[in-house]
Amino acid sequence: MAERREEKYLIDYSEYSVIANRIRALLTPDKNAPDGRYSICSLYFDDPFDTALAEKEDGNAVHVKFRIRTYGGSKKTIRLERKTKRGIVTEKHSAIISEAELDKIVRGEGVDENSECFGLVSEMYSKAFRPAISVRYDREAYIFEPLGIRVTFDFNIDSLPPEKETLFGKTERALPAINRGQIIMEIKYSDRCPSFIRKCCSTNGMQLSVSKYALCRNAPAM
């Protein structure tokens, strides 16, 4: 997959209201969100030394995360992803997996060598990765197709136990990772972000260097 750039900002609801009104006038709502928003849940993996978390918190130039992601608690699309980040530049490799493969990965068992996810799973096992935490939130997304730009707003970011069931909305044991009045705005683009997008997204909010994974790992213990 081609590299993309991601900028994250922590904003409050009043700023969100202003920015979202500007964005709606220029960008197209994500077709996957017919009601305006959709939920995302990601089960993240880390090794016994929490290397993925430490790489991020230590400010390493390059860090890698593995996760399994679902949308709206549905079993129709279960995606295993490896996300590599260099500053604001990100690169993703992903594979669609079955529920049976999900079960095996969570249990630390092998998958068929002909599986689409075999390479990613082999890399995970070579690093002794195991489930670390689940992260769930609601997303509102807008797209500018000509330049492949996405602007997203993430609400209700929750930390959940690192269990398969969280991916399908079957647990309510969630803790807020940030204040409910705060929203994470992300601007995602491949090459450049034009000035009119930047003006629309102009904010006094803090630019975030930490990920939702790190925020949830540092939330109060379950």
Q: Specify the DSSP element, H or E, that contains 120.
A: helix 118-126
Question: Following CA atoms 71, 30, 16, 187 in sequence, which dihedral angle do they give, to the nearest 10 degrees?
Answer: 90
**In this structure, is residue 54 part of a structural domain?**
yes
The answer to the question of residue 114 being in a domain is yes
| pLDDT of 208 | 84
- Check: CB of residue 46 under 8 Å from CB of residue 53: yes
Residue 119 has pLDDT above 90, yes or no: yes
Query: Residue 222 domain-assigned?
Result: no
In the three-class reduction of DSSP (H, G, I as helix; E, B as strand; rest coil), residue 207 is classed as strand
* Residue 12: predicted pLDDT: 95
Asked whether residue 157 is domain-assigned, the answer is yes
Does residue 170 carry a pLDDT above 80?
A: no
Per-residue confidence band for 205, with pLDDT thresholds at 50, 70 and 90: confident
Domain count, the chain: 1
Looking at residue 169, its pLDDT comes to 86
- Prediction pTM value: 0.92
Cα–Cα dist 65/184, whole Å = 19
Distance between first and last Cα of the chain: 35
- Our CA dihedral for 23, 10, 135, 72, rounded to 10 degrees, sits at -20
State how far the alpha carbon of 90 is from the alpha carbons of 61, 85, 86, 160, 192, in Å: 12, 4, 6, 25, 14
pLDDT digits (tens, 9 = 90+) for 78-115: 999 999 988 888 999 999 999 999 999 999 988 999 99
* Whole-number Å distance between alpha carbons of 54 and 136: 21
DSSP assigned state of 190: S
In a domain, 148, yes or no: yes
Q: What is the CATH number of the domain that holds 188?
A: 3.20.100.30
Per-residue confidence (pLDDT) for residue 191, from 0 to 100: 82
Owning domain of residue 48? 4-217
Gap between the Cα atoms of 66 and 131, Å rounded = 10
- Give every CB contact of residue 99 below 8 A, 6+ residues apart in sequence: 75, 78
Q: What is the DSSP secondary-structure string of 153-181?
A: EEEEEEEE-S-GGGGGT-----EESS-TT
pLDDT digits (tens, 9 = 90+) for 11-49: 999 999 999 999 999 999 988 776 679 999 999 999 999
